[in-house]
Homo-oligomer: A and B are copies of this chain.
Amino acid sequence: MKVSIIGATGYGGIELIRLLQHHPHMRVASVHSSSQAGVSLQDVYPHIGGRFVLRDIQSDDIEGDLVFLATPPGVSSEWTPKLLAAGHKVIDLSGDFRLRDGNVYAKWYKKTPPNEEVLKQAVYGLTEWNREHIANASLIANPGCYPTATLLGLAPLVIQKWIVPHSVIVDAKSGVSGAGRGVSLGVHFAETNENVKIYKVNTHQHIPEIEQMLRDWNEQMGPMTFSTHLIPMTRGIMATIYAEAACIVSLDRMIELYKETYKHCPFVRVREAGSFPCTKDVYGSNYCDIGVSYDERTNRITVVSVIDNLVKGAAGQAVQNANVMLGLEEQTGLTSMPMYP
């Protein structure tokens, strides 16, 4: 199976190339960049060696049956209709097709929403919770990094209605690669190192994406409080999730629920009571590790969910979805152990 990557010069694109390198059933047939067509990818990323030359984004040049769009928001909504029309299947890593309501997209992304007909075809690619629809889709809206960590961490409690619907607070921490490869003062080493910054307090564009899924699971779920922090590290997201318990359930029972829920999910690993994952536990891998705790004093549950933002939070989950679309085992090509230390 031949696949193509559009937007190969960003961090999502280069991670796709790394992950697909040894995939037994997919081969990167062409890589594309609107701005750097004709350039060898090695000139952009010397570590990659001389495998690829960047091509323009013209249909004739796109060899893959399946196309990964690793482009910024606003770009995918333009190219996707053409790609679908030309018979390609598409996995879009941007936020363009994640929100079912174009108005919500316009509000949070400050961009024109995609074509409505195309939007309707999009299937939300949180693999663990949508395998069947993904299997039959032509267009996957690959989830954002924060939503992946948050939703996998919250799902069992929300579906089971074990938490008070309006009580959710998410305090997320991300490495700097999540901001992409574009240059700005905000990613300058001297401004980021030895520093923690909070940003987009309750205004992050991933909020409606999370809330949409939460309400699919339980329509009573209300708006949540959500803040994101920039941490002086390259990769990794930790979502620390707080919610009020809606019923009396022991911690052991909660952990049992998580284990039961994810028992057929090879990439979700649940910790025993008293143990919590750190971001390094999933570094470079497609795992989402989850720890749960309950505090009797406050009747609140704290869930800790960690992923590598570039793998399970982007390229890895995209490959996982591609596997499902192609009828393969979902972990195909993705079983590499985290790199530690």
Of B225, B233, B279, the residue contacting A300 (CB under 8 A) is B225
Residues of B near A223 (CB, < 8 A) are 297-298
Q: Which residue on B lies nearest to A201, using beta carbons?
A: B293
Residues of B near A175 (CB, < 8 A) are 190, 194
| A21, A184, A201, A271: residue with the most chain B Cβ atoms closer than 10 Å | A201
| A22, A193, A277: residue with the most chain B Cβ atoms closer than 10 Å | A193
Q: How far is the CA of A222 from the CA of B295 in the complex (A)?
A: 13
Interface residues on A, range: 35 or more
Closest chain-B Cβ to A253's Cβ sits at a distance in Å of 18
A198 engages B232 (CB within 8 Å): no
Given A183-B184, A190-B11, is A275 in contact with B46 using a C-beta cutoff of 8 Å? yes
A337 engages B21 (CB within 8 Å): yes
* Chain B CB within 8 A of A197 CB: yes
Q: How far is the CA of A297 from the CA of B223 in the complex (A)?
A: 6
Residues of B near A189 (CB, < 8 A) are 176, 187-189, 192-193, 232, 234
Q: Which residue on B lies nearest to A339, using beta carbons?
A: B284
B227 engages A240 (CB within 8 Å): yes
Q: Which of A215-250 contact B (CB under 8 A)?
A: 222-225, 227, 229, 231-236, 238, 240, 242
Residues of B near A278 (CB, < 8 A) are 195-198
* Cross-chain pairs A/B with CB under 8 angstroms, 13 sampled: A18-B337, A18-B340, A46-B289, A47-B281, A47-B289, A183-B187, A189-B232, A195-B236, A196-B278, A196-B279, A199-B276, A223-B297, A223-B298
Where the two chains meet, the residues of A that have a C-beta atom closer than 8 Å to any C-beta of B are: 11, 14, 17-18, 21-22, 45-49, 166, 169, 171, 173, 175-177, 179, 181, 183-185, 187-199, 201-202, 222-225, 227, 229, 231-236, 238, 240, 242, 269, 271, 275-285, 289, 291, 293, 295, 297-298, 300, 302, 304, 306, 335-341
